[in-house]
A and B are shown apart, each in its own frame.
Chain A
Amino acid sequence: MKVAATDSAVNISPVPDTWQRRHLLGLEELSRDDILTLLETAVELKTATGGCKEKLSILKGKTVANMFFENSTRTRNSFSLAARRLGADTVEFSASSSSLSKGETLIDTAKTIEAMNVDAMVVRHSTPGSPHLLSQNVGCSILNAGDGPHEHPTQGMLDIMTIYEQRGTLEGLTVAMVGDITYSRTARSNIWGLKKLGAHVIVCGPSTLVSKTWEDFGVEVSHNLDDIIPRCDVLNLLRIQFERQYTRPFPSVREYAFLYGMNGTRMAQAKDDILIMAPGPINRGVEITPDVADGPHSVILHQVTNGIAVRMAALYLTTSVNQREG
């Protein structure tokens, strides 16, 4: 792969004045305009980097710290690559390898990293609100890379971007998220983002993992995948978050796959142009069978590439506000 520094030749649009957010904590709090700005910037940066392959220098001289208090490979590498594609330096921090095991508090850890002149921190934590806590206690930009089951805004945006690339709009599309909604930050970020862009959102899964209360927020709730498949333009198949569950919410993986696994038989009931998505890591044979995951409707690998685009956009937009405010 050729990674060329082509910065001087590329002109990236300046950050619009309407974008005022120093942090990216979640999609619920963003306006429709904010979400469109993120989306358009991501598309532009993807093009400018030749499909997230080439380097720019719009974040040259800036430093991005990856602070992961929970395991991650894909999101962490995606953020690292995004930062480096824009010319930033990166610092890697993980809880197991550093101070937290010595009893340092989260805030002290963040302040220590910030003192190394960091411009943005990418934070993943198992507790909802932890990035919000840091945003109130440090001066740099905070980007939420997943806070427990609460939000994962860049994942929501990359899912939206993937649909947008394929369809040109979100307006009027029916998007179903299938599986573990209760413990899924991806589901929450998707719900807020999709609804603001005019999509009809369905959450589908076992009644122990899909609350009826989502109806209060204008989301359709279903417990029967076969009922909804024919209406869906997009199916986003979520992973079961076994690690967050205290009481197993369904009797067996076999029963789950029987009720909610997306397989060839179910695909036959779907629209011809249905998009199959999964935030990964995918469990083949559980929420999705290999023929579907690798089939012509699958855009799972596009999602991965768009992750870099969205994260470049998020870093560019948030740190520009920091700079503006001095």
Chain B
Amino acid sequence: MNRTIIRNGRVIDPGQDLDQVADILIEEGKIAGIGTDLGEAEQEIDASGNVVAPGLVDIHVQLREPGFEEDETIQTGTAAAIAGGFTSIACLPNTSPVTDTQAQVQFIQQKASQANNCHVFAIACVSKNREGQELAEMGILTKAGAVAFTDAPNPLQKTDLFRRALEYSRMFDVPILDHPEIPELSQSGIMHSGAISMVLGLSGMHPDSEELATGRDLRLAETTGARLHLMDISTEGSVELIRRAKARGVNVTSEVCIANLFLTDEVMRTFDSNYKVNPPLRSQLHIDACIAGLQDGTIDVITSGHAPCASEKKMTELDCAPFGMNQLEITLGLAITNLVVPGHLDFPALIAKLATNPARALKLSKGTLAIGADADITIIDPESQWQVKPQEFASLSTNTPFEGLTLTGRASTVLVSGEIKLQR
């Protein structure tokens, strides 16, 4: 029998309320035991001084293939996921063609299987061709393996379509994911609307744009009883709206992208298009509210918001440059550096946001170290100091403003179904 033991790590599994120094036994690619007296194995991994966590799960990733292979492919994107400590990712449907047919879901699965890096789950379109007009074939898509539905990064603009999607999704118990934004209030926006946008003369995206949509979405989730996942939360008002909705028992989960947890709109003074993201980087007030939301459980998930872009697309005027940052490989380091080191979250809370909760939001049987689960494990060296080197990214693109930045903490070993995919 193929046995592996990970020895002496600080084993953290928020799903089981577990945080103790222990060994983990893996047999035939599954978790077979957690304890101190698990015998011998042909393969041993020393995890002393490291955190042993369920493989991280990122439910907001743009893989770009098919259609935008100049930015990223399923091969390179999944390699980037492994380099960043993620063993499962869910990819958005904004490819070309979009993910709105069985064949497209199967294409993703087949490419992911050939890449043989991490698990990949397809998120399909809510609307046919992602046009926001007619429902996509949710039943057939669910059957094909789609785990959730969204038109992101576009918002679901038409309220009647959104309401129908929520009603219809209940039959299949799948969540609808929305990027909350009222485009009329953010059109042509490049950055957060505030003092900095005023000084720079750049068109702003007002928090109202996000908060009005968040309010609408929560109301629809409440009246339909469907599963709603709010992506890209970035404002104080949105956090408060979700907090109140959760208190009323609305079936909602929410996420924040890592960039929105530590960067303010001040960085736009550089005019570096690598800081152009949607939702935009806002003020410290909003960052503090998002962190408070993470702490009290209002915000369930931290995502990378991985949006790889070829350099020729970003090296242009700010209004022409697409939104997005290349984040998969640095999200864990950014999170430890900016959330754990300053004391905003402890490791169990961080792992809940990066593994347990994202898996639960999409009902994936991932993000857990339960006996019998796939042995997807991320071993994190919490002290490791390392430098961001975009030229060494596994991702095809290098659109990051963090070149040369020193981060604390990163994945030292990554196992997917018991197989070592990364060891550094």
Whether B312 lies near A105 (C-beta < 8 A) is: yes
Given A213-B194, A246-B187, check contact A128 B312 (CB 8 Å): no
User: How many whole Å from A260's CB to the nearest CB in chain B?
Assistant: 20
CA distance A183 to B203 in the complex (A): 10
Whether B312 lies near A246 (C-beta < 8 A) is: no
Whether A214 lies near B198 (C-beta < 8 A) is: yes
User: How many whole Å from B337's CB to the nearest CB in chain A?
Assistant: 26
0/1 per residue, B195-233, Cβ < 8 Å to A? 100111110000000000000000000000000000000
Whether B199 lies near A133 (C-beta < 8 A) is: no
A107 within 8 A of B: yes
Whether B195 lies near A216 (C-beta < 8 A) is: yes
User: How many whole Å from B8's CB to the nearest CB in chain A?
Assistant: 48
User: How many whole Å from A181's CB to the nearest CB in chain B?
Assistant: 9
Inter-chain contacts of A132 with B (CB < 8 A): 271
Whether B315 lies near A128 (C-beta < 8 A) is: no
B388 within 8 A of A: no
Interface segment, one of B71-79, B125-133, B316-324: B316-324
Residues of chain A at interface, number, CB under 8 A: 28
CA distance A82 to B15 in the complex (A): 71
Inter-chain contacts of A126 with B (CB < 8 A): 319
CA distance A129 to B318 in the complex (A): 7
Given A128-B200, A151-B201, check contact A213 B319 (CB 8 Å): no
Q: Which of A105, A128, A183, A216 contacts B271 (CB 8 A)?
A: A128
Inter-chain contacts of B387 with A (CB < 8 A): none
CA distance A246 to B184 in the complex (A): 10
Interface hits, A238-255 → B, CB 8 Å: 246
User: How many whole Å from B362's CB to the nearest CB in chain A?
Assistant: 37
Given A106-B317, A246-B187, A246-B188, check contact A129 B200 (CB 8 Å): yes
Which A residue sits closest to B313, measured CB to CB?
A: A105
User: How many whole Å from B207's CB to the nearest CB in chain A?
Assistant: 14
What size tier do the contact residues of chain B reach?
A: 10 to 19
Interface hits, B298-320 → A, CB 8 Å: 312, 315-320
Whether B271 lies near A213 (C-beta < 8 A) is: no
Whether B195 lies near A213 (C-beta < 8 A) is: yes
Interface hits, A55-110 → B, CB 8 Å: 105-107
User: How many whole Å from B160's CB to the nearest CB in chain A?
Assistant: 25
User: How many whole Å from B195's CB to the nearest CB in chain A?
Assistant: 5
Q: Which of A107, A185, A216, A217 contacts B201 (CB 8 A)?
A: A185
User: How many whole Å from A219's CB to the nearest CB in chain B?
Assistant: 11
Given A132-B271, A216-B195, A246-B188, check contact A107 B315 (CB 8 Å): yes
Which B residue sits closest to A214, measured CB to CB?
A: B198
Whether A127 lies near B318 (C-beta < 8 A) is: yes
Q: Which of B187, B198, B312, B317 contacts A211 (CB 8 A)?
A: B198
Inter-chain contacts of B198 with A (CB < 8 A): 182, 211, 213-214
Inter-chain contacts of A279 with B (CB < 8 A): none
Q: Which of B194, B202, B312 contacts A150 (CB 8 A)?
A: B202
CA distance A133 to B318 in the complex (A): 9
A188 within 8 A of B: yes
CA distance A28 to B199 in the complex (A): 9
A322 within 8 A of B: no
CA distance A148 to B191 in the complex (A): 15
0/1 per residue, A153-190, Cβ < 8 Å to B? 00000000000000000000000000000110100100
Which A residue sits closest to B271, measured CB to CB?
A: A129
Whether A188 lies near B199 (C-beta < 8 A) is: yes
User: How many whole Å from B283's CB to the nearest CB in chain A?
Assistant: 12
Whether A128 lies near B318 (C-beta < 8 A) is: yes
Interface hits, B154-190 → A, CB 8 Å: 187-188
User: How many whole Å from B282's CB to the nearest CB in chain A?
Assistant: 15
Most buried by B among A127, A148, A183, A185: A127
Whether B317 lies near A133 (C-beta < 8 A) is: yes
Q: Which of B195, B200, B271 contacts A133 (CB 8 A)?
A: B271
Most buried by B among A132, A133, A246: A133
CA distance A185 to B201 in the complex (A): 8
CA distance A216 to B197 in the complex (A): 13
CA distance A93 to B271 in the complex (A): 24
Whether B199 lies near A127 (C-beta < 8 A) is: no
Inter-chain contacts of B271 with A (CB < 8 A): 128-129, 132-133
CA distance A246 to B187 in the complex (A): 9
0/1 per residue, A188-219, Cβ < 8 Å to B? 10000000000000000000000101101100
Inter-chain contacts of B199 with A (CB < 8 A): 28, 188, 217
Interface hits, B18-72 → A, CB 8 Å: none
User: How many whole Å from A42's CB to the nearest CB in chain B?
Assistant: 24
CA distance A302 to B135 in the complex (A): 64
CA distance A49 to B318 in the complex (A): 39
A130 within 8 A of B: yes
Inter-chain contacts of B317 with A (CB < 8 A): 106, 125, 127, 129-130, 133
User: How many whole Å from A163's CB to the nearest CB in chain B?
Assistant: 23
Whether A149 lies near B201 (C-beta < 8 A) is: yes
Interface hits, B316-366 → A, CB 8 Å: 316-320
User: How many whole Å from B405's CB to the nearest CB in chain A?
Assistant: 18
Whether B315 lies near A150 (C-beta < 8 A) is: no
Which A residue sits closest to B320, measured CB to CB?
A: A127
CA distance A147 to B315 in the complex (A): 17
Q: Which of B188, B201, B316 contacts A128 (CB 8 A)?
A: B201
CA distance A130 to B316 in the complex (A): 8
CA distance A105 to B321 in the complex (A): 11
User: How many whole Å from B3's CB to the nearest CB in chain A?
Assistant: 55
User: How many whole Å from A167's CB to the nearest CB in chain B?
Assistant: 27
Identify 18 new A-B residue pairs, CB closer than 8 A, beyond the known A105-B316, A106-B317, A150-B202.
A28-B199, A105-B312, A107-B316, A127-B318, A127-B319, A127-B320, A129-B202, A129-B271, A129-B318, A130-B317, A130-B318, A149-B201, A150-B200, A150-B201, A183-B201, A211-B198, A213-B198, A217-B195
The 9 residue pairs across chains A and B that have the minimum distance between CB atoms: A129-B271, A149-B201, A150-B201, A127-B317, A128-B201, A132-B271, A127-B319, A213-B195, A130-B317
Chain B residues near A (Cβ < 8 Å): 187-188, 194-195, 198-202, 271, 312, 315-320
Q: List 5 A-B contacts (CB under 8 A).
A: A107-B316, A127-B319, A128-B271, A130-B317, A217-B195
